[in-house]
Chain A
Amino acid sequence: MRKPEFVYVTYIATTPEKLWEALTSSEFSKRYWFDTEVKSDWKVGSPFALVMNGTTTDVGEILQVDRPRWLSYTFHHVLSEAARKERPTKVTFNLEPHGKLVKLTLTHEDFEDGSVILDGISKGWPAILSSLKSLLESGAALAIPPSALAIEGYDGP
């Protein structure tokens, strides 16, 4: 059987540099990532955190920084006790030039069997990355209500 993982690919009319900036700037991320700030100094070994309206939802450590091609960090959801007990997972972004576009591949992996966060991240990433694509291409992020994601047991902050 395949190991549980989530892979999402999207093509964006932008440059790798602008996309890198969007993935690593907390000002930018607030606009497309459900009011979430990405926080790190983006050096290998440094801490990483996602902060939603002042509340830290996820923490991790930077694993790989190869600007503007590869970015990888560990990802540990800390809002629920069940999630805190699980081992950290791993998030990797690959930015590849594709003609005048960028092909963005997100891989989220290393889940424990029966992980309580797999459902949520599988439904969250498409919304976040769709909104990021809209913001870079049209200048306007999407206003997606968290309830539209239909994550089991979660109806938004």
Chain B
Amino acid sequence: MNLDNFKPAIVYTIYIASTPEKVWEALTTAEFSKKYFSGFAVEAELKVGGAFVARAPDGSVHISGEVIECVSPRKLTITWNVNWSALVEKLGPTLVTYDIEPAGDAVKLTLTQAHDRPIDDDILSGGRSGWPAILSSLKSLLETGQALVIKMEPPQRMLDALKKLGIKTP
């Protein structure tokens, strides 16, 4: 996979009163992710080529991917492929990068979602609405010990656009 072909489609930055190590742990362990990511369990084999999985609360694999870059606690790049039939075939792989930088006493976390081809805005609306919810909740969890309860549905315009492409969603 040639990373040079991937262009950022979504960039979201959030500052968190925490340490890079704690943010890294929150992004890569099920213990944390279940609290801030709608019950989803992240399982990451933290080495280049390792497996990356996010399981739905029922145990099914919702997102599967591979670790592309792993520089603890500064940078994690993974493929982030939602497990919907024909999605990768039609849209190509989704690349997600977390950059973690110290910013005074806080941490600057930058999420970048990148693709190797142009992706329709309707489809990107999923990530545009999802990432702020996930990362707002992660910030609250690390700062206050309490994640946010954010009820999220996939945007209808995204589901319609995927359906048009022949991608089956639940």
Q: Are B104 and A133 in contact (CB under 8 A)?
A: no
A130 touches B139 (CB 8 A): yes
The answer to whether A144 and B15 have CB atoms under 8 Å apart is yes
A-B CB proximity, top 6 nearest:
A148-B103, A130-B15, A9-B132, A11-B136, A126-B13, A145-B104
Q: Given the complex, which residues of B lie within 8 Å of A140, measured CB to CB? A: 17
Is A71 an interface position by the 8 A CB rule? no
Stretch from A21-29, A38-46, A96-104 at the B interface: A96-104
Q: Across the interface, do A11 and B132 meet the contact criterion of CB distance under 8 Å?
A: yes
Interface digits, A62-90 against B, CB 8 Å rule (1 contact, 0 not)? 00000000000000000000000000000
| B14 lies within 8 A of A142 (CB) | no
**Contact call A134/B143, Cβ cutoff below 8 A:** yes
Partner of B103, one of A7, A10, A144: A144
Cβ of B140 < 8 Å from any Cβ of A?
yes
Determine whether the beta carbon of B148 is less than 8 Å from that of A126.
no
A143 in contact with B104 (CB, 8 Å): yes
For residue A137, CB closer than 8 A to chain B, the reply is yes
CA gap between A10 and B148 in the complex, in Å? 11
Q: Which label, helix, strand, loop or mixed, suits the secondary structure of the B interface? A: mixed
Interface size counted on chain B using CB atoms at 8 A: 29
Q: What CA separation (Å) do A148 and B101 show in the bound complex? A: 9
Contact A126 B15 (CB under 8 A): yes
**A12-B150 Cα distance, complex, nearest whole Å:** 10
At the interface, yes or no: B82 with Cβ under 8 Å from chain A?
A: no
- Contact present for B14 and A130 (CB under 8 Å): yes
Interface check A36, CB cutoff 8 A: no
A123 and B146 CA atoms in complex are apart in Å by: 27
Q: What is the bound-complex CA distance between A140 and B106, given in angstroms?
A: 12
CB neighbours of A131 from chain B (8 A): 15
Task: Judge whether B15 and A142 touch: CB under 8 Å.
Answer: yes
Given contacts A11-B133, A126-B14, contact A144 B149 (CB under 8 A): no
Residue of B nearest to A12 (CB): B136
Q: How far is the CA of A13 from the CA of B150 in the complex (A)?
A: 10
A99/B151 in contact, CB under 8 A: yes
B132 x A148 contact (CB < 8 A): no
Interface check A55, CB cutoff 8 A: no
Contact of B108 among A2, A143, A148 (CB under 8 A): A148
Nearest chain A CB to B12's CB is how many angstroms away?
Answer: 8
The residue in chain A whose Cβ has the minimal distance to the Cβ of B110 is A126
Neighbouring A residues of B137 by C-beta, 8 Å: 11
Say yes or no: A138-B129 contact (C-beta < 8 A), given A10-B14, A99-B150: no
Interface membership of A95, Cβ < 8 A: no
- From the candidates B17, B103, B104, B151, name the one contacting A134 in the complex (CB within 8 A): B17
